[in-house]
Amino acid sequence: MASAGGREPSSYAGAVPTPETPDLDELLAAAHVVRLPMRVRFRGVTEREAVLLRGPGGWAEWCPFVEYADADAARWLAAAVEAGWGQLPAPVRDEVGVNATVPALPAAEVEGLLARVDARRTAKVKVAEAGQSLDDDVARVTEVRRVLGPAARIRVDANGAWSEQEALAALERLAPLGLEYAEQPCGTVEELAALRLALARRGVDVPVAADESIRRAQDPLRVARLEAADLVVVKVAPLGGVARALEIIERCGLPAVVSSALDTSVGLSLGVRLAAALPALEHDCGLGTATLLAADVVAEPLVPAGGVLTLARAEAARDAVDPAALAAYRPGPDRETWWRDRLTRAHSLL
């Protein structure tokens, strides 16, 4: 058996050994494919497909988005191997602040969505949705500010959809609403670096956060080298696991926000574990997305209480996968075959 992801052991302080990759037959035997309905369309998704894996160390989750290449899927699989077959870094805190997530809804639907969320001191608002305008974004963020009040922290996420000039124009309009930061406003690291300079020259006080430029990059440290961001958004699965994410954060030397990849409660529990292990945590994390799912693989989904998730609740959720849910949300044979074939390909790249 080989080390998961073909990586050298992590160099960050407090590193744990990189687990050996289980044989393919063991992974396939441990795999349960599910398709979960969502409450609202998010990131173009109305149903979230995932593979739950039962390893000797507990439940793990593998759910790379369907459009991702096999090389990306292999990093997600390395994270699942760490969770189910490896050892996780020790936590240094027992609770994590969590933001609410507001999809690209019409402004009139914002209040109803936020009424269902117990994480109202911070909100992340999706902007730059295809088919929508900047006026739609401004109206949505304005409504979030109205509902949550002047003390709430509001961040926006463009998923790299704006050009540098579009981002500059958009953030000039949105800045008066009081933004904590703008997440991945542009697609490339070079554009992010140029945008930071342009914002400073215009006197627009909106920090820039890098997300896709970290989690989908061959060299995630370019963001720090080019001074392209004020902070980084990290996700356990796309970076290859908790230990690997901690190493990248340490080497970037920037404040970090831990976020989810539209995970089930099992995947979210690993995000909480990463946030709990960070030496410093200055921002609320994007780990409240279980509220976007209309069904989950656990009887009691991992949703915030009072704006926080505790490590104890996260560990309990990870141990509480419901066999009835696995059976109820099992997709048809064609999708199950698709995921098992994909698992086979990803495993060959570890």
Annotated binding site for Mg(2+): 157, 183, 211
Q: Which two tokens stand for residue 268?
A: 């979210």
Three-class DSSP category at 323: helix
**Angstrom distances, CA of residue 240 to CA of 111, 137, 180, 315, 333:** 36, 33, 28, 20, 28
In this structure, the strands spanning 95-97 and 308-310 are antiparallel
Q: How far apart are CA 18 and CA 274, in angstroms?
A: 16
φ/ψ (deg, to 5) at 20: -80, 145
User: Comparing C-alpha atoms, which of 239, 184, 183 is closest to residue 216?
Assistant: 239
Active-site option among 32, 124, 126, 283: 126
Residue 83 dihedral angles phi and psi, to the nearest 5°? -70, -40
How far, in Å, are 149, 207, 247, 339 from residue 236 at the CA level? 31, 23, 12, 20
Contact call for residues 51 and 341 (beta carbons, < 8 A): no
State yes or no: is 124 an active-site residue: no
C-alpha 19/C-alpha 253 separation (Å) is 26
d(CA 141, CA 22): 46
Number of H helices, E strands in the chain: 14, 12
Query: Is there a catalytic annotation at residue 126?
Result: yes
Residue type, 117: V
User: Which of 75, 124, 140, 235 does the annotation list as catalytic?
Assistant: 235
Binding residues, by number, are 157, 183, 211
Q: How far is residue 41's CA from residue 269's CA, in Å, rounded to a whole number?
A: 23
Q: Side-chain half-sphere of 145: how many Cα atoms within 13 Å?
A: 17
Can you state the percent helix, strand and coil of the chain, rounding each to 5? 40, 20, 35
Helix (H) or strand (E) holding 34: strand 31-42
CA proximity to 97, closest of 127, 126, 118: 118
Active site residues: 126, 235
